[in-house]
Amino acid sequence: RRNLSDRINSVSPSATLAVDGKAKALKAEGVDVIGFGAGEPNFPTPDYVVEEAARACRDPRNYRYTPTAGLPELRDAIAAKTKRDSGYEVTPQQVVVTNGGKQAVYESFQILIDAGDEVIVPAPFWTSYTEMIKLAGGVPVEVLSGADQNFTPTVEQLEAARTERTRAIIINSPSNPTGAVWPEETIRAIGEWALEHDLWVISDEIYEHLNYDDAKTTYIGAVVPELRDRLLVLNGVAKTYAMTGWRVGWMIAAEPVAKAAAKLQGHLTGNVDNVAQQAALAAVAGPLDEVHRMREAFDKRRRAIVSALSEIPGVQCPTPTGAFYAFPDVTALLGRPLGPNGSVAETSSDLASLLLDEAHVAAVPGEAFGAPGYLRFSYALADDQLVEGIARFRRWVEA
Ligand code: PLP
């Protein structure tokens, strides 16, 4: 009786956290590593948010549990923000405040999926989706769209993957890891297709405010309103307000679904940290000025990283128009000697390891996102680090 469960043994560790952990361990040993691994803005959380948290900390009323689904004022503010940004009405009762967007994703699969149910996952996908589906007893069905199709699936591809057991699809635009922003016609077509086949749609909108050039986030609940009964929208403050460590996210769904999520959360974690919820309230109810300022900074870095990566022989970097990731195709670097030692990477995973060990640059291999042959670079790091990191990559390839 000393074995761990099949459930936990079937799951891989988070590859993005693993790369980041390895980079941090090397740094702790004194190695000067440049980390493109973590999807974490390097900006401080806005002052007015921190001030609100400090105030909340000093008020003993906030030392207690809140309702499991969240502070009523925060649920109100999230409903109002949804109207402002997505353009449609939801009630505060449809909102469940979660410990980060991550918990909202986890709860979605736990409440929707029975053993053997299939969930369509367009790839490249965020690394935790497939593992969380497995943790719910479900079967992730990956549908890959590469750089040649702008990392955007067609309904024909999705339909080819649909079976009698398909229960849901998860979408994420703007996307981690590709930075792709799917066009409105794609999102609309996916919504109509899901409606026709009675599927749940889980829409992870955590990068909604990070769009560049002419790209615009399309909210599936706005363009296909009939879908709202079977739509779960996931979001959070982490990426929008540089609040990764505060751990506040949310789910918006039809009331019975939201109630089910709150029931689960009641046994899992209970409420989110009271003080963090008040900080999130200041963020969500506040203006988007800081967000726009950060977006401009990201946009400069985006241009810098795409042009620097594109100058490396063997690296093909499509221009991302959302989030803060570049996802270049590195297949031309595989299977040939690289670097001063003439090391050979057979896979993008080998390449990421060599890059970290020999050039001290941390990037996440495409394997973690269901897309071997690519590397993911987060450009949420400081400008000088970004320039130096990609220069190292280039020097190493050219050595
Ligand atoms: N969804 C996507 C696509 C993400 O990239 C992340 C974080 O990396 C999350 C959800 C979870 O964010 P958090 O739990 O930090 O709110």
Residues 155-179: pLDDT tens digits?
A: 999 999 999 999 999 999 999 999 9
Q: Is 398 exposed, middle or buried (0-12, 13-18, 19+ CB in 10 A)?
A: exposed
Residues with Cβ within 8 Å of residue 344, at least 6 apart in sequence: 335, 336, 337, 338, 350
Average pLDDT over residues 65-92: 98
Co-location of 122 and 159 in the same domain: yes
pLDDT given for residue 16 in this prediction: 73
Tell me, yes or no, whether 51 lies in a domain: no
Structure tokens at 162: 């649909």
Q: For ligand 1, is residue 39 a contact (CB within 6 Å)?
A: yes
Q: For ligand 1, is residue 238 a contact (CB within 6 Å)?
A: yes
Radius of gyration of the chain (CA): 21
| Residue 118 · residue 138 · CB < 8 Å | yes
Atom of ligand 1 nearest to the CA of 249: 16
Domain hosting residue 321, numbered range:
6-44+290-398
pLDDT band at 1 (very low <50, low <70, confident <90, very high): low
* Rounded Cα–Cα distance for residues 296 and 178 (Å): 19
Tell me the CB-side half-sphere exposure of residue 285, using CA atoms within 13 A: 15
Q: For ligand 1, is residue 244 a contact (CB within 6 Å)?
A: yes
Instruction: State in Å: Cα 101 to ligand 1 middle.
Output: 5
Co-location of 356 and 219 in the same domain: no
* Rounded Cα–Cα distance for residues 299 and 317 (Å): 16
Q: For ligand 1, is residue 102 a contact (CB within 6 Å)?
A: yes
Tell me, yes or no, whether 54 lies in a domain: no
Given a cut of 90, is residue 58 above it in pLDDT? Answer: yes
Lowest mean pLDDT among 20-24, 165-169, 184-188, 191-195: 20-24
Final residue of a domain: which of 286, 315, 343?
Answer: 286
Co-location of 319 and 272 in the same domain: no
Q: For ligand 1, is residue 206 a contact (CB within 6 Å)?
A: yes
The CATH number of whichever domain residue 345 belongs to comes to: 3.90.1150.10
Final residue of a domain: which of 286, 318, 346?
Answer: 286
Domain count of the fold of the chain:
2
* Rounded Cα–Cα distance for residues 208 and 249 (Å): 13
Atom of ligand 1 nearest to the CA of 40: 8
* Residues counted in the chain: 399
Q: Read off the pLDDT of residues 245-292 as tens digits, 9 standing for 90 and up.
A: 999 999 999 999 999 999 999 999 999 999 999 999 999 999 999 999
Q: For ligand 1, is residue 101 a contact (CB within 6 Å)?
A: yes
Tell me, yes or no, whether 49 lies in a domain: no
* Rounded Cα–Cα distance for residues 397 and 29 (Å): 25
* Rounded Cα–Cα distance for residues 110 and 200 (Å): 13
Q: What's the distance, CA 114 to chain centroid? A: 24
pLDDT band at 14 (very low <50, low <70, confident <90, very high): confident
Q: For ligand 1, is residue 204 a contact (CB within 6 Å)?
A: yes
Co-location of 71 and 192 in the same domain: yes
Co-location of 275 and 295 in the same domain: no
Q: For ligand 1, is residue 376 a contact (CB within 6 Å)?
A: no
Co-location of 22 and 88 in the same domain: no
* Rounded Cα–Cα distance for residues 258 and 250 (Å): 10
Co-location of 270 and 352 in the same domain: no
Q: Which amino acid is at 128?
A: S
Co-location of 76 and 167 in the same domain: yes
Q: What's the distance, CA 231 to chain centroid? A: 18
Instruction: State in Å: Cα 40 to ligand 1 middle.
Output: 10
Q: For ligand 1, is residue 138 a contact (CB within 6 Å)?
A: no
Q: Which residues pair with 365 in a beta bridge?
A: 375
pLDDT band at 17 (very low <50, low <70, confident <90, very high): confident
- Token look-up 């990201």 returns 298
Instruction: State in Å: Cα 344 to ligand 1 middle.
Output: 33
Q: For ligand 1, is residue 177 a contact (CB within 6 Å)?
A: no
Tell me, yes or no, whether 269 lies in a domain: yes
pLDDT given for residue 98 in this prediction: 98
Tell me, yes or no, whether 59 lies in a domain: no
The CATH number of whichever domain residue 75 belongs to comes to: 3.40.640.10
pLDDT given for residue 38 in this prediction: 84
Q: Is 64 exposed, middle or buried (0-12, 13-18, 19+ CB in 10 A)?
A: exposed
* Rounded Cα–Cα distance for residues 332 and 375 (Å): 12
pLDDT band at 110 (very low <50, low <70, confident <90, very high): very high
The residue among 182, 44, 39, 22 whose CA lies nearest residue 101 is 39
What are the backbone angles phi and psi of residue 240, rounded to the nearest 5°? -70, -40
Average pLDDT over residues 38-66: 95
Tell me, yes or no, whether 277 lies in a domain: yes
Instruction: State in Å: Cα 206 to ligand 1 middle.
Output: 7
Co-location of 152 and 181 in the same domain: yes
Co-location of 39 and 76 in the same domain: no
| Residue 22 · residue 356 · CB < 8 Å | yes
Co-location of 134 and 167 in the same domain: yes
Cα 351-170-83 angle, rounded to 5 deg = 120
Co-location of 15 and 133 in the same domain: no
Final residue of a domain: which of 256, 286, 316?
Answer: 286
Q: For a ligand 1 pocket test, name from 126, 209, 241 the mutation site with the most ligand atoms within 8 angstroms of its C-beta.
A: 126
Instruction: State in Å: Cα 126 to ligand 1 middle.
Output: 8
Q: For ligand 1, is residue 40 a contact (CB within 6 Å)?
A: no
Q: SS3 letters for the chain?
A: CCCCCHHHHCCCCCHHHHHHHHHHHHHHCCCCCEECCCCCCCCCCCHHHHHHHHHHHCCHHHHCCCCCCCCHHHHHHHHHHHHHHHCCCCCHHHEEEECHHHHHHHHHHHHHCCCCCEEEEEECCCCHHHHHHHHCCCEEEEEECCHHHCCCCCHHHHHHHCCCCEEEEEECCCCCCCCCCCCHHHHHHHHHHHHHCCCEEEEECCCCCCECCCCCCCCHHHHCHHHHHHEEEEEECCCCCCCHHHCCEEEECCHHHHHHHHHHHHHHCCCCCHHHHHHHHHHHHCCCHHHHHHHHHHHHHHHHHHHHHHCCCCCECCCCCECCEECCECHHHCCCEECCCCEECCCHHHHHHHHHHHHCEECEEHHHHCCCCEEEEECCCCHHHHHHHHHHHHHHHHC
| Residue 190 · residue 155 · CB < 8 Å | yes
Tell me, yes or no, whether 53 lies in a domain: no
